[in-house]
Every structure is written in structure tokens, then in C-alpha cells.
Structure 1
Amino acid sequence: MAWILLVLAGLFEVGWAIGLKYTEGFTRVGPSVFTIVSMIISVLLLGLALKTLPVGTGYAVWTGIGTVGTALLGIYLLGEPATAARLACIGLIVAGILGLKFAV
């Protein structure tokens, strides 16, 4: 169950990271509310997951999911470059997340 909470926390982290782009410095109400709510949910779910997972593993996986998701959505939604090197680095982060999952 902790891993499910951690993955959900990571997905909400992606939501708030991408949401920040759309807030335009927190001047747009809708995206700002979405971003703030996503931040709160993400941290709450992380806290629940860390009740049973080691903090180093949980935090690394949480930020890894956030990093990979944000990078991929940046490519898809925001037209950021999808170079081979960038995709390979994203793959390395995914490998690290999986390694931490199976090392616990």
C-alpha cells in the first residue's frame, strides 16, 4: 500500500510542477488553486507512504517520479526538446526508481 501512495504522491508532484507553468506567477486563479491543492495532496501522500518506507528511498522515488513525469510532459505539452541524450537520462532515472523499489 505504501508504494501505491508513493506513486500517487509522485503523480501529484508532476501535477503541481506542470501547474506552476500555467499559474503565470500565481496570477491565474484556476491553475494556482490546482497547483496548491496538488502540492498539499502530494506531500500528504508522501508522508503517509513514509510511515513504512525508508525516508531515503521514499523521497528519492517521489522526486524521481516527479522529475520523469515533469520532463515527459514538458516534452509533450510544452514543446521542450526530446533529444536522445535527454531521453536516455530520463531512462536512467526510471532505472534508479525501479532499482530502489526492488532493493527495499
Structure 2
Amino acid sequence: MALVVVFDIPGATQAQYDAAIAALVGPGKSFNVPSDLPVPGLISHVAGPIAGGWHVTDVWESQAAFNAFTAVLMPILAGVGIPAVPPKVFGAHKYVH
């Protein structure tokens, strides 16, 4: 079952998000397709500003794939000053793309 992961991160900025993405994908690369990430399993990703912070919604193939990603992601977020905020996580009944 696909897993929906929703982050609302108070105080986070686009500059921090962009720095985290650059660190995730590596020098000279961009994040245009899920396979650009260093771990497999991302189905979709959307991110943008919200009042007072930053929002991210991901869809992952499984809990295991998301767990592998968080092991890579969390040190990167800390390095760019994005606070650790627990996401809302739930199984997707239906996903259309």
C-alpha cells in the first residue's frame, strides 16, 4: 500500500528546502524525477510555502522505503536548520497519477 507523508514545517524557508534538496541529490544534479533521490521508493513529491513555513507532501511505495529515506534525510535537514517535525502519515486508499 502506498504511504502518504505530510510535513508542515513552521519557520522553514524555500532557501532551506532548496539547500536540503541539493544535499540530497548531490552536486550538479537537480530533483526532477523520483529516481534523482539517493533511495528508491518515492512515487510523488510536492512542496511549497505555507503561512509561516513550508509544506511537503510525498507519496512513498511503502513504510520501508520512507524509513530508508528518513535515515538519509534527517541529518540533512538538521544541517540546513530545518527542525525535526513529525509528519502526518497514512496509507493511501487510492492514488491516481
Q: Where is the strand percentage greater, Structure 1 or Structure 2?
A: 2
TM-score, normalising length: structure 1: 0.27
Q: Which has the larger radius of gyration?
A: 1
Higher helix proportion, which one?
1
Greater RCO (CA < 8 Å, at least 6 residues apart): 2
